[in-house]
Amino acid sequence: MLALAAVCIGVSCNKSSDSSSDEESGNWIKRSSFGGAQRTEAASFVIGDTAYVGTGYDGENRLKDFWLYNADGNTWQQRAVFRGTARNSAVGFSANGKGYIATGYDGVNKLKDVWRYDPSSNSWDQMNDFAGSARYDAAAFSIADKGYITTGYADLETGGSGNVKDCWQYNPGSDSWTEKNNFGGDKRNSAVVFVYQDKAYLCTGTASSTLNDFYAYDPSTDTWTEKRKIANISDESYDDDYSDIIRSNAVAFTLGDYAYISTGTNGSNTTKTWRYHFADDTWSRKTPFEGSSRGGAVAFVVKNRAFVTMGSSGSSYFDDIWEFNPDQTQNDDDN
Amino acid sequence: MMMITKALKCAVVCTVILFFSCDGEQQQTDKAKNDDKLPVTAIAIPVNDGWGYEIYVDNQPFIKQETIPAAEGFQTFKSREDALRIAKLVMAKMKEGKKFPAVTMEELQQAKIAMNSATSGILKQ
């Protein structure tokens, strides 16, 4: 509790500090390499205190191996092979103690199948198809044991392909999909979404260019509420430093009362890391990701510890895993 | 008697050590180049009534496989030899670098790993 208070004070004092000192706030610590292939565009979900990662693309093949990460032991364990088609850019979410991998791209077709992983039997079952159009690079989240899929690059009803912003809720009990109100901002793919206090926050991503709008979704009212733009748009000073938040194919995660965005692409790959303050709808810089810059990574939080792993940069594919500790000062010795 | 069996299993855990390059071709930083010749070790571990394996990279635990990889359910290897055969396969894949160390159902069949077919996942594939 004391530590938390100290952090809060530190943040308020930092508000006017220059960006270079802010970029030593937080520390990235290299952990194990991924047990499977070096890969990008994998899907992951967390059930209880265990993270699961699988599928993806290694530069030659789409993958269907599936792994468990044990944060305490820093070890990987291969689990039952994903039984759907090998794919990349699928989404993962968990609900009711089970994990789901849905949508994605098999190299030829956009996909709309949905697969459920049961950790108690280490097995996969196919569920009813996603009710929206087939797509990849969608965003998914879960709130109150329901799953949601929105945005992405989809097959269009009018023919062809394009970005979408429809939003669908999955009910694991009835294995059914219900359409909800469209995402409030622009159509897009490769966005990030993070959840805090039963609301989902969606931003970044790309349409014809990277986007700076930002919306929060409240499932209890089925409403999208606009938050402040994530670029230096206003006449006020709070966003003067918001020069490099926008991006696509980034990762995001929630830790405590903050969310973090890291890695991704805006013109080139970035390591810039930003912290979102839910309390006052503002962003501040944190230590940039200390691994190679990359897009298509995955992030997960287990036992209140945040990890970023995999991804790609050009023809390089990664399998290293990094833990981010926002309360430490940047340190090269643990890289 | 149970105790003795368990102790025996621990005593005969076989250690295989291979030194090889961990695929430096895509590594860009100096630090990564220093990782080129990391020792990779595999040991069989007793799990419940059977066997699994652990793979260490540079003496750090990397994979702790307590069930037969890729297969559905929670089957253990029926023998230490089976566990080590697959552990060696995983190490060989790591040696190849680009080829990933995931095991497939086909490889388990080729390696003649004894499994209960009802829970192996083969029937479902």
- Indicate which CATH number applies to the domain containing A116: 2.120.10.80
Q: What is the pLDDT of residue A309?
A: 95
Per the model's pLDDT, the better-predicted residue between A18 and A276 turns out to be A276
Residue of A50, A122, A294, A312 to mutate for B, most B C-beta atoms under 10 A: A122
> In degrees to the nearest 10, what's the CA dihedral of A179, A140, A142, A175?
50
d(CA A294, CA A38): 12
Which of B1, B106, B6 lies closest to B51, judged by CA? B6
Residue A77: pLDDT over 80: yes
Beta strands at A176-180 and A123-127: parallel, antiparallel or unpaired: unpaired
Dist CA A310 CA A299 (whole Å): 9
Task: Return the DSSP state at A85.
Answer: -
A302, A306, A311, A316: CA torsion to nearest 10: -120
Instruction: Provide the pLDDT for residue A312.
Output: 95
Residue B36 has what pLDDT? 52
Q: Is residue A73 part of a domain?
A: yes
Q: List the single residue in A with minimal CA-CA distance to B102.
A: A36
Cβ within 8 Å of residue B16, ≥6 positions away: B41, B42, B43, B84, B87, B88, B91
Instruction: State the smallest CA–CA distance between residue A77 and chain B in angstroms.
Output: 5
The identity of residue A26, as a single letter, is G
Find the residue in A nearest to B26 (Cα). Answer: A316
Pairing outcome for strands A139-143 and A135-136 = unpaired
Q: What is the overall mean pLDDT for chain A?
A: 92
Quick check: A53 and A41 in contact, CB under 8 A? Answer: no
Q: Does A36 touch chain B (CB under 8 A)?
A: yes
Mean pLDDT of A245-271: 97
CA distance A38 to A246: 26
Q: Measure in Å the smallest separation between the Cα of B86 and chain A Cα atoms.
A: 12
CA dist B65 and B45 (Å) reads 9
Q: What is the pLDDT of residue B101?
A: 85
**Residue A96: which region, alpha, beta or left (left: phi > 0; alpha: psi -120 to 50)?**
left
pLDDT at B117: 64
* pLDDT the model gives residue B60: 87
Chain B residues close to A75, C-beta within 8 Å: 54, 61-64
Per-domain boundaries in chain B: 33-114
Measured between beta carbons, the chain A residues lying within 8 angstroms of B104 are 65, 81
Residues in A closer than 8 angstroms to B98, CB to CB, are 38, 58
Which residue is it, tokens 């089925």?
Answer: A222
Buried b (16+ CB within 10 A) or exposed e, A10-36: ebeeeeeeeeeebbebbbbbebbbbbb
CA distance A47 to A229: 32
Which residues of B are less than 8 Å from A58 in CB distance? 98, 100
Instruction: Give the pLDDT of residue B59.
Output: 86
Q: Does B26 touch chain A (CB under 8 A)?
A: yes
Q: Is the pLDDT reported for residue A199 higher than 60?
A: yes
CB contact under 8 A, A78 and B121: no
Picking from B29, B64, B101, the nearest residue to A70 by CB comes out as B64
- How far CA A162 is from CA of A136, A191, A288, in Å, comes to 11, 15, 32
Tens digit of each residue's pLDDT (9 = 90 or more) over A264-316: 999 999 999 999 999 999 999 999 999 999 999 999 999 999 999 999 999 99
Other CB atoms closer than 10 Å to residue B50's CB: what's the count?
19
Report the amino acid identity of residue A153.
Answer: Y
pLDDT of residue B99: 52
Q: Between A324 and B10, whose confidence is greater? A: A324
Residues 6+ apart with CB under 8 A from A270: A244, A247, A263, A264, A288, A293
Range of the domain at A220: 22-334
Please give the backbone phi and psi of residue A153, each rounded to the nearest 5 degrees, phi first: -110, 115
Calculate how close chain B gets to A37, using CA atoms only, in Å: 4
Closest CA to B63 of A32, A220, A170: A32
A289, with CB counted inside 10 A (0-12, 13-18, 19+), is buried
Mark yes or no for CB contact A81/B60 under 8 Å. no
Residue of B nearest to A290 (CA): B29
CB contact under 8 A, A33 and B62: yes
User: What is the mean predicted confidence (pLDDT) over A188-213?
Assistant: 96
B70/A81 touch (CB, cutoff 8 Å), yes or no:
yes
How far apart are the CA of B6 and the nearest CA of chain A, in angstroms? Answer: 23
With cut-offs at 50, 70 and 90, classify the pLDDT of residue A35.
Answer: low
Predicted confidence band of residue A2 (pLDDT cuts 50, 70, 90): very low
Q: Are B84 and B78 contacting, i.e. CB atoms less than 8 angstroms apart?
A: no
pLDDT above 70 as % of chain A: 92
Answer yes or no: do A123 and B98 touch at CB < 8 A: no
Does the beta carbon of A234 lie under 8 angstroms from any beta carbon of chain B?
no
Residue B82: beta bridge partners? Answer: none
Query: Are residues A80 and B121, on separate chains, in Cβ contact within 8 Å?
Result: yes
Q: What is the pLDDT of residues A155-179, one digit of tens each?
A: 998 999 999 999 999 999 999 999 9
How many folded domains does chain A comprise?
Answer: 1
Flag whether residue B121 sits within 8 Å of chain A, measured between CB atoms. yes
Asked if the interface predicted TM-score (ipTM) of this complex is over 0.95, the answer is no
Nearest residue to B93 (alpha-carbon basis) of B34, B33, B29, B42: B42
Q: For A201-236, what is each residue's pLDDT tens digit?
A: 999 999 988 899 999 999 999 999 999 999 999 999
CA atoms within 13 A on the CB side of A290: 26
When mean pLDDT is compared over A28-32, A50-54, A58-62, the highest value belongs to A50-54
- A289 has a chain B CB within 8 A of its CB: no
- B105 CB within 8 Å of a chain A CB: yes
Q: Which residues of chain B have pLDDT under 70?
A: 1-37, 97-100, 117-125
Nearest-by-Cβ selection for A123 from B28, B73, B102: B73
| C-alpha of A247 from chain center | 13
Closest chain B residue by Cα to residue A313: B26
A292 vs B contacts (CB less than 8 Å): 28-29
3-state class (DSSP) for residue A11: helix
Is A58 part of the contact surface with chain B (CB cutoff 8 Å)? yes
Collect all residues of chain A within an 8 Å Cβ-Cβ radius of residue B100.
36-39, 58, 63, 65
Whose CA is closest to A110, among A164, A32, A181?
A: A164
Residue B19 contacts residue B10 (beta carbons within 8 Å): no
